Chain A
């Protein structure tokens, strides 16, 4: 059985990379957030969440990103999300103007070079 969503976690030069695939809704958003948050240590400079392989995300998915971003910001850590344009999540995120509050990128490469520049 596929889980509704899965996350693979890694770390590169002090930036945690969380690659999520599947679907995010009310049933799994909090668990995903905890999984990602627990991986990030105080020593990490920040977190990039890659939603390239997410086929569906609702407002619970947005909430996940907002809460993560706030938690990291409180610790002086950076947070960015990879959400390709034309994807279902991106269209939903754009409607609520999420890009104004969270740095959002089309590709992982863009997000990574942004993180480099921020260091």
Chain B
């Protein structure tokens, strides 16, 4: 009876002490301050002379002295202990508490512990869901037998600490990786008239190793990338950032996807990217008639059209990046005639533990029918991911990029920043529009030239340095083509040679009508099509 009530009193006291330590773990402190404050209290409640935390570095499988009280030298010296070796290493590898009554050179690796004159030690693992975060240990400068209640107390403390630390470290890393993520995923997709981009990024835990990119090239072509770096967290994010920048540089210098990817492959060593990288890189040509791409060990792109969707690859993908020196990558070409959209993705979308890759691909093909015709592509991608996961939790990151090609149309509507770089984009759109209307030869050139002059007028004269918007509309009314260029600026005559632009417009079109008001300038031009 007596012993029981004493037991209860002991437990209550123990609980009080644990809470005393644990409330620190919940305080809003940085991970470093948190550990410092924690060790002070651990030392207090256990009446120990020293206390230290070593955290696991997963890359090297070593414990790194991160915070210490009474043996601060340990942290200053940056002590690293291999998992499995010595006192702390053993605790981490066996995931059990270890008590040393009398320190002996054979069972302690760390010279600082010996030099300090620590006699007795107790250490416990910091565990979160069976996962080792590190080791927490206390020491005494006089002989002391750490008994079972001490072990239990330190274990309870370690449990709370590990949880708090995990949340804190994770939070810290999450904020960091979110910032990094912004550097490797496009925040805004480029505006490419005639194409619509929709993407989904769903990391499995924290942050993943998938990334994608869309780059509008001045030629009117569009480069697309979808990649997968093995690994997670800050390191994978940094690797992706490097890869993305390098790929952008390579893409700007090359015309052939095989050249671009080969160049990136040769840079891999310099980029210091550990782990396997698969990449799909391709270029949609300026008139959207074909997609030329390279698959470096990546899952094949899917072409959606009115008929059966199909994978744009002959089954002979090249190896992942940096696997064989000086590999010559091959460019595949797929026609986009009758294609509605292209789907690029990472293997997380189709991977399942219990099934082969080809079965996963087939499921994707079967489930993707509705994506091509969806009115709301973002919702369609969500439901595609849902139906492919089929209720199970994603085990890998999922990245999906849908590129929709607008159906040929007899009318055209563009809204662009009034900027010299917009001229080529407008020209490409007009070219596609005229080609859809089967307007060719000299007539096509005339309309392009006249419209180009009207747009150049808006770019040059409508706005000050702040810039503004302009609209370009094209339509066919019966056998007459109509092109409208509208801006919201005040016409400012400046420079010479603009008179030539107006002369061109009048000479090349049947009629040109200007409307200038405070709200802006509208130029409407008509040109009759030859009767067929």
Is A109 interfacial (CB-CB < 8 Å)?
no
User: Across the interface, do A59 and B500 meet the contact criterion of CB distance under 8 Å?
Assistant: yes
User: Across the interface, do A1 and B453 meet the contact criterion of CB distance under 8 Å?
Assistant: no
Q: Which of A25, A27, A59, A66 has the most CB of B within 10 A?
A: A59
A2 to B251, CA, bound (A): 10
Give the A interface residue count (CB, 8 A).
Answer: 20
User: Across the interface, do B420 and A2 meet the contact criterion of CB distance under 8 Å?
Assistant: no
User: Across the interface, do A4 and B456 meet the contact criterion of CB distance under 8 Å?
Assistant: no
User: Across the interface, do A1 and B420 meet the contact criterion of CB distance under 8 Å?
Assistant: no
Q: Which residues of B contact A63 (CB under 8 A)?
A: 496-497, 500
Binds B, one of A38-46, A90-98, A111-119: A90-98
Closest residue of chain B to A55 (Cβ to Cβ) is B445
Is A58 interfacial (CB-CB < 8 Å)?
yes
User: Across the interface, do B424 and A4 meet the contact criterion of CB distance under 8 Å?
Assistant: yes
Given A1-B252, A27-B421, A96-B504, A59 contacting B459 (CB threshold 8 A): no
User: Across the interface, do B459 and A1 meet the contact criterion of CB distance under 8 Å?
Assistant: no
User: Across the interface, do A58 and B459 meet the contact criterion of CB distance under 8 Å?
Assistant: no
Binds A, one of B23-31, B215-223, B521-529: B215-223
Is B14 interfacial (CB-CB < 8 Å)?
no
User: Across the interface, do B453 and A59 meet the contact criterion of CB distance under 8 Å?
Assistant: yes
**A 67-108 contacts with B by CB, 8 A:** 88, 91-92, 95-96
* Total A-B residue contacts, Cβ distance less than 8 Å: 78
Looking at chain A's contact residues, the main secondary structure is mixed
Interface residue from B253, B442, B460 paired with A26 (Cβ < 8 Å): B460
**B 419-456 contacts with A by CB, 8 A:** 420-421, 423-424, 427, 442, 445-446, 448-449, 452-453, 456
Q: How far is the CB of B417 from chain A (nearest CB, A)?
A: 13
Q: Which residues of B contact A92 (CB under 8 A)?
A: 449, 504, 508
Interface residue from B218, B253, B427 paired with A56 (Cβ < 8 Å): B427
Interface residue from B219, B423, B446, B508 paired with A2 (Cβ < 8 Å): B219
Is B501 interfacial (CB-CB < 8 Å)?
yes
A3 to B460, CA, bound (A): 22
Q: How far is the CB of A77 from chain B (nearest CB, A)?
A: 22
Q: How far is the CB of B59 from chain A (nearest CB, A)?
A: 37
Looking at chain B's contact residues, the main secondary structure is helix
A91 to B441, CA, bound (A): 12
A33 to B252, CA, bound (A): 23
A3 to B220, CA, bound (A): 10
User: Across the interface, do B456 and A1 meet the contact criterion of CB distance under 8 Å?
Assistant: no
Q: Which residues of A contact B459 (CB under 8 A)?
A: 26
Is B254 interfacial (CB-CB < 8 Å)?
yes
User: Across the interface, do B423 and A91 meet the contact criterion of CB distance under 8 Å?
Assistant: no
User: Across the interface, do B218 and A4 meet the contact criterion of CB distance under 8 Å?
Assistant: yes
Is B16 interfacial (CB-CB < 8 Å)?
no
Interface residue from B219, B253, B456 paired with A25 (Cβ < 8 Å): B456
Interface membership of chain B positions 269-285, coded 1 if the CB is closer than 8 angstroms to chain A and 0 otherwise: 00000000000000000
Interface residue from A27, A88, A96 paired with B423 (Cβ < 8 Å): A27
A88 to B496, CA, bound (A): 22
Closest residue of chain A to B427 (Cβ to Cβ) is A56
A59 to B502, CA, bound (A): 9
Given A1-B251, A59-B497, A95-B503, A26 contacting B218 (CB threshold 8 A): no
A4 to B424, CA, bound (A): 8
Interface membership of chain A positions 44-62, coded 1 if the CB is closer than 8 angstroms to chain B and 0 otherwise: 0000000000001011101
User: Across the interface, do A62 and B445 meet the contact criterion of CB distance under 8 Å?
Assistant: no
Q: How far is the CB of A28 from chain B (nearest CB, A)?
A: 8
Is A19 interfacial (CB-CB < 8 Å)?
no
Closest residue of chain B to A60 (Cβ to Cβ) is B456
User: Across the interface, do B218 and A59 meet the contact criterion of CB distance under 8 Å?
Assistant: no
User: Across the interface, do A59 and B498 meet the contact criterion of CB distance under 8 Å?
Assistant: yes
Is B15 interfacial (CB-CB < 8 Å)?
no
Is B507 interfacial (CB-CB < 8 Å)?
yes
Q: How far is the CB of A79 from chain B (nearest CB, A)?
A: 17
Is B57 interfacial (CB-CB < 8 Å)?
no
A60 to B455, CA, bound (A): 12
Q: Which residues of A contact B448 (CB under 8 A)?
A: 56, 88
Q: How far is the CB of B17 from chain A (nearest CB, A)?
A: 66
Interface residue from A1, A58, A88 paired with B221 (Cβ < 8 Å): A1
A63 to B508, CA, bound (A): 19
Closest residue of chain B to A3 (Cβ to Cβ) is B218
Q: How far is the CB of A5 from chain B (nearest CB, A)?
A: 10
Q: Which residues of B contact A27 (CB under 8 A)?
A: 420-421, 423-424
A2 to B424, CA, bound (A): 13
**B 384-434 contacts with A by CB, 8 A:** 420-421, 423-424, 427
Is B255 interfacial (CB-CB < 8 Å)?
yes
Closest residue of chain A to B420 (Cβ to Cβ) is A27
Q: How far is the CB of A91 from chain B (nearest CB, A)?
A: 7
User: Across the interface, do B453 and A58 meet the contact criterion of CB distance under 8 Å?
Assistant: yes
User: Across the interface, do B424 and A25 meet the contact criterion of CB distance under 8 Å?
Assistant: yes
User: Across the interface, do B497 and A58 meet the contact criterion of CB distance under 8 Å?
Assistant: no
User: Across the interface, do A25 and B423 meet the contact criterion of CB distance under 8 Å?
Assistant: yes
B interface residues (Cβ-Cβ under 8 A, vs A): 217-219, 221, 223, 251-255, 420-421, 423-424, 427, 442, 445-446, 448-449, 452-453, 456, 459-460, 496-498, 500-501, 503-504, 507-508
> Could you pull out 10 A-B pairs where Cβ atoms are within 8 angstroms?
A1-B221, A1-B254, A4-B218, A25-B452, A27-B421, A56-B452, A59-B456, A62-B500, A88-B445, A96-B504
For the complex with contacts A1-B218, A60-B497, A96-B503, 16 further pairs of A-B residues with Cβ separation under 8 Å are A1-B252, A2-B217, A2-B218, A3-B218, A4-B218, A26-B420, A58-B449, A58-B453, A59-B456, A59-B497, A63-B500, A88-B448, A91-B446, A92-B449, A95-B504, A96-B500
